[in-house]
Structure 1
């Protein structure tokens, strides 16, 4: 009897409960909607404008000279004349420097033209390897200014001497008097050597 009494008292404390609570923040979330095409075009248009400004930046910088030339015409004319004369002066000075350098190398027997296999094949067999001029490595360079021969409408002049393979651009060829500086230097040295030997014999 006492056992049943204790069992009934303790049974009241033996309680099992399950609590199931669900919480959601759905009310706090914004309601998403599809972005309109206007904003998409606006974003990509901004990126396109930035890239376009980067590409045309050098051309837009030139507009400053045009704008200044509209307001200060005399100053613009003086600036153009100064640049023209300065360019001519530098060109003449550079040509004189390169001419003396070429003459010095010729007298020292150190004047060489770095010809690769493609250029040699093109010069020795012009008909068979004519297509090599399409390759940048097979094009000739000017002896004076080191300008590379253009791909189309090449007006490079080559020395008439069969033993000489130096080439000149039209501007340098005209400045040199339509003659090869290497051959002219050799001829001048040879003639001066012959004259000196004749004087010694006399």
Structure 2
């Protein structure tokens, strides 16, 4: 109590130390502890050795980890780290994208200017139509039929109906058949469509080959990884002594059990090809078929150009049709050999309404007889072959 100067605290702490009867109680409990709680004689030494072993064991399990990082300074010729390489790659992609966008914009600008060709083509057609009377002057129009009928009523030389040899030089706008002169334009257009179709077929074939190759790679390079492991530690310490119980409490912490089952594959690294569907093939060939159809319909749309030009230039139409009528009447074809004959050289039948024309040689070979208007019942092969009897048609 003299060591602690605080008046209340020294009584609380020191009064309990004055109870001497507690020592007598400890003397009574000591024999009971020796009988009921046996302790080995070398318990202290064993306890010290155990503490030393635990300290040594903890020191044996100590590790020092040394990490060494290597920086790769050259990746595909780029002196940069991973972040720098990613940044440079992204920048290269952005620059390429900008160039492609500019190129596509230029292509769209050029395609948007193609409508100018419509005006230039129309202007060129109108200029040739008004300046050249022979330009595109091969159509048998309604006005032409009226002129020919008027010449027929006036007992002048007329052209219609056309002979078989004459049909190849004139076009009937109302006819659905394609004229040989128009067939050249159709074949040239179809040739372009066929070349484009061949190109599309080659692209589709390449797509099928690439899909087949990637599908083979996907099916035959698929790898599945399966990692399974089991870790089980069970340390059993026998005995009921204090040391055995202490060891069970200490070493029992090492009893662990773990199971590892990990499934992985390279599925995300493999190509995933997708084949074109029937709709994709259909949408690839339908435009080609539409282009081929438009090539055929272009013939009939070209016939409308003359109708439109005649509507805006009626005076030019009169001169054009008059020249066509004169040209048709001046050019005749031999009914036998089909040779073209001008009006002054052709020999024409004088029977009214016949209008058959012959070249001089065929007329002599026929014995100066027009078989186009003479009835077949009056033919006499023997007499027609005679050198003395000649029949003339007046």
**Which TM-score applies when normalising by structure 2?**
0.22
Structure with higher strand content: 2
**Which TM-score applies when normalising by structure 1?**
0.38
